[in-house]
Amino acid sequence: MTLAHLRARLSAVALALTAGLLLGCTTPDVAPQPLGTPGERGAPVRSHLFEASYDDVWEAVIDEIADANLLIGEVEKESGVISVPETRYAAAHAHEGTRGTTFGYTHDVVQRHASANVIIRRRGPMRTEVKVVLSMRMQVRKGNGTSVFPFTFEWFDAYSTGKLESDFFANVAARLRPRPMSRREDAVR
pLDDT tens string for the chain (189 positions)? 677 776 777 676 666 555 555 555 777 888 777 766 656 666 677 899 999 999 999 999 999 999 999 999 999 999 999 999 999 999 999 999 888 888 788 999 999 999 999 999 999 989 999 999 999 999 999 988 888 889 999 999 999 999 999 999 999 999 998 756 555 555 555
Where residue 20 sits, what CATH number does that domain have? 3.30.530.50
How many domains is the chain built from? 1
Tell me the residue range of the domain where 105 lies.
Answer: 3-177
Distance between CA atoms of residues 187 and 189, nearest Å? 5
Instruction: Give domain status of residue 184, yes or no.
Output: no
Residue 34 to residue 134: CA distance in whole angstroms: 12
Report yes or no on 154 lying in a domain.
yes
The answer to whether residue 187 is domain-embedded is no
Angle between helices 163-176 and 54-67 (to 10 degrees): 120
Q: Which residues contact 143 (CB under 8 A, 6 or more apart)?
A: 102, 105, 149, 150, 151, 152
Q: What is the pLDDT of residue 28?
A: 80
On whether residue 17 sits in a domain, the answer given is: yes
Check residue 93 and give its pLDDT.
93
Please tell me what DSSP assigns to residue 18: H
Residue 121 lies in a domain: yes
pTM of the model: 0.75
Residue 19 included in any domain: yes
Asked whether residue 29 is domain-assigned, the answer is: yes
Q: What is the pLDDT of residue 21?
A: 53
Phi/psi of residue 130, nearest 5 degrees = -120, 130
> Does 182 map to a domain?
no
